[in-house]
Structure 1
Amino acid sequence: MQRIALVRYVVKPEKGAENEALARAVFDALRASAPEHLAYALFRKDLEFVHVFVNLGADDSTAVTELPAFKAYSKDIAARCEAPAEVTRFSLSLVDSYGVAS
């Protein structure tokens, strides 16, 4: 099984830049550690953020969630958000793909 997670939230107007900077630090840490079988992307429109995480190797997200940068990002996320984040996690098996390397 693989892990797919979608996280969507809207930050408070004064927290957009801070949230983006904290999230970018996570991506810097991922580039430095280069875990295999992962795809992770962050999308933004104004104050709305959407994270897409895919682990094609296992039903696990610790390669991201155990990073010190992710812990710093997630520490005060509730205080940065207008409302609780919408989180959807799936444990699925990949059938086929285009643009997602396995």
Structure 2
Amino acid sequence: MRVMIRYTVRPEHVEQSVALLRAVYADLERVRPSGLRYETFRLDGGGSFLAVIESEGDPVAAPHHRLASFQRYRAALSEICTESPTVTYLDQVGSYRSE
């Protein structure tokens, strides 16, 4: 299952969000959970972010949710977002040279 999550943080909290995300990615590199692909993009250099998560089974139960760093990140979003995370389930129609 693949999902896209989009959210926006207040301008004064962009660097905090990036730092929290870097901690999540450092933990993912250390733990290396199987069956998970996770990418986050900062849009146009502003405070909007887009994450694409692919996992086996239910993405809500994806392995990164168990990381303490992800839980800290998710808790912070509740406080710093101007646009709350919106989840969109993706159903791939085609692909060219994607990994």
Name the TM-score class by shorter chain.
0.7 to 0.9
- Structure 1 CA distance, aligned partners of 2:16 and 2:73? 9
What SS is found at the alignment partner of 1:82? strand
Given the two structures, how large is their TM-score scaled by the length of structure 1? 0.80
State the partner residue of 2:34. 36
Aligned residues, how many? 96
Please state how far the C-alpha of 1:73 moved relative to its aligned partner.
0.4
Q: Residue 5 of structure 1 aligns with which residue?
A: 3
Matches of 1:32 and 1:67 in 2, distance apart? Answer: 11
Length-normalised TM-score, structure 2:
0.82
Name the SS for the 2:58 alignment partner: coil
- Provide the C-alpha distance between the structure 1 equivalents of 2:38 and 2:15, rounded to a whole number of angstroms: 20
Report the aligned-residue RMSD: 2.2
Tell me, what secondary structure is at the counterpart of 2:64?
A: helix
Alignment of 1:1-102 (within 5 A): 3-45=1-43, 46-55=46-55, 57-60=56-59, 61-89=61-89, 98-100=97-99
Give the 4+ runs in structure 1 shifted more than 6 A. Answer: none
Opposite residue 41 of structure 2, the aligned amino acid is F
Q: Which consecutive unaligned segments of at least 5 residues does structure 2 have?
A: none
Q: 1:34 to 1:13 in 2, by over 3 A?
A: same
In 1, Cα distance between equivalents of 2:19 and 2:54? 22
Uncovered stretches (5+) of structure 1, i.e. residues with no partner: none
